[in-house]
Amino acid sequence: MPARLLFTIVFIEGYCSLGAEIIALRRLIPHVGSSIVITAPTIGFFLLALALGYHSGSRVATDFRTVVARNFLISAALMGGGLTASTVNAIFAGTQPAFAYLVFIGGILCPLAWLLGQTVPILTNLMLAQRSGEAAGRALYWSTLGSFLGSVTLSLIVMQWLGVWAAVLLGTLMLIAGAVLTQRPSPSKGLMLTIVVILAAGLNLRDRSRIDTAYADYEVQPVLRDGMIDPRAFVVNNQNASLIDSSQPPQYARYVQHIRRILLDDLALADHDILVLGAGGFSISHREPLNRYTFVDVDPAIRGIAEREFLRESAAGEFVATDARRFVIDSTRKFDAMVVDVYSSRTSIPGHLVTREFWTDTRRVLKPGGIMLTNLILDGQLASPYARNLLASIESVYGRCAVEVLYKSAPRSNVIVSCFANDIMEQTRIYADERNRADIDSARSP
């Protein structure tokens, strides 16, 4: 095989293998989030399958082109059909997330990595005229270069400008091209290639109707809610992030109305600066002219999507497209109030947005006496380790906070935590029968 052709095929393998991993991680976000306990095992399983592919490829002794072409064809089918939004949603529908995750990893991503991992050791057999070290080194160079470009271009260009569906379709077509370049297809194999292309194009072009970016899946759905007129939900990563109806004035999701009531009624804020981490559907500021709002969200496209598909009017407030933690670290501005609503999936907050260090940074950008409100989704009894530890992490920075469970009988509920940025000069004490200072403390309290 000519060197240029061989390195082109190896480049395609590298581009599509790491591209498949990037797409898989993105497809998992709406279902299981993007925490380290998801991304690390996914990367680990991918690398294990790739290593097993290297080993399997090293044992191939004949029909080198035929084996690689077959592997590329099967990989194209796995990518074009298995990494579509409809397929991944079907895997996770009605099943336990842990089981569905293993089905997705074991049935789609790992087989794809195993097949493509065989490429380099097989094709280096066609470079016997060179030293084995030189052949392997050059092949790995082009494979790794393809991996680098695949991860960068798919995540920063293709997904951003066209959507995840375009990244899946591009990888599928590249694998089909690799199969054709490796071995001229027979009529029967040509028919199979055509079928894979048609199915992949049909499935992924259908996904164009979905609104997705490199960060999230978006959808606006009609819903039924008692007392609301034609309500519609703004669904972000399979989670109802916002709700609005056609009433005058509009009604919103219960937790949003609760937060608005705290800000506008309980605290009577007017002409104040309010920071909102996690834009959702921009309903916090909807038709609210009294205060100045700054929204922060990692997805640059979310404002345009919310205005066009959900609000159907312009969103009130300034918008900053950046990571929430990066914003509170870098910001020199001070705010009178802050709303933290940063879920990346149905129940998952990104891990770097729950730590004591993050809550310390949020307090730093609040004015003295400012309020921080956060929407959490926890068990209704606040008995789980996650609920207890997350609340303890917040209160380790802010001191005692108000905790309001909106759906106390539900297994999962919106929990609104309200904390004030007040200086606490004294440590807490436990009242006991032998040393009870309750009366003294009560007398000197305002």
What mean pLDDT do residues 162-180 have?
A: 94
Residue 140 has pLDDT above 80, yes or no: yes
The strand pair at 335-340 and 211-212 is best described as unpaired
The chain-wide mean pLDDT, for the chain, equals 90
Q: Residue 377: beta bridge partners?
A: 414
Band of pLDDT at residue 124, cut at 50, 70 and 90: confident
Check whether 399 has a pLDDT greater than 70.
yes
Choose among 203, 234, 222: nearest CA to 310: 234
Measured between alpha carbons, how far is 379 from 407 in angstroms, rounded to an integer? Answer: 9
Band the pLDDT of 440: cuts 50, 70, 90: confident
Q: What's the rounded Cα separation, in Å, for the pair 437 and 442?
A: 9
- Checking if the pLDDT of 211 tops 60, the result is yes
Where in the chain are the domains?
3-212, 217-420
| pLDDT at residue 349, as a whole number | 77
State what percent of residues in the chain have pLDDT above 70: 96
- Give the three-class secondary structure for 395: helix
Q: What is the pLDDT of residues 213-230, one digit of tens each?
A: 888 888 898 998 888 999
**What tens digit of pLDDT does each residue of 339-377 get?**
999 876 555 678 888 899 999 999 999 999 999 999 998
Mean pLDDT lowest for which of 69-83, 129-143, 149-163, 199-213? 129-143
pLDDT per residue as tens digits for the range 333-345: 999 999 999 876 5
Q: Which residue has the tokens 């089981």?
A: 99
Average pLDDT over residues 77-90: 93
For residue 272, pLDDT over 90 is answered with: yes
- Phi and psi at residue 349, to the nearest 5°: -95, 135
What value does the mean pLDDT take over residues 181-207?
88
Residue 127: count of CB within 10 angstroms of its CB: 18
Closest CA to 202 of 36, 81, 96: 81
Which positions ≥6 away from 94 have C-beta within 8 Å? none
Domains 3-212 and 217-420 share a fold: no
CATH 3.40.50.720 matches 217-420: no
Q: What is the pLDDT of residue 238?
A: 80
pLDDT at 408: 87
Q: What angle do CA 150, 31, 224 make, to 5 degrees?
A: 130
The predicted structure's pLDDT at residue 346? 57
Is 3-212 in CATH node 1.20.1250? yes
Q: CA 108, CA 102: separation in Å to the nearest integer?
A: 10
pLDDT at 410 over 90: no
In this prediction, residue 30 carries a pLDDT of 85
* pLDDT of the residue at 237: 83
Tokens of 194: 């055509």
What is the predicted pLDDT for the residue at 332? 93
Q: Residue 221: exposed, middle, or buried by beta-carbon count in 10 A (0-12, 13-18, 19+)?
A: exposed
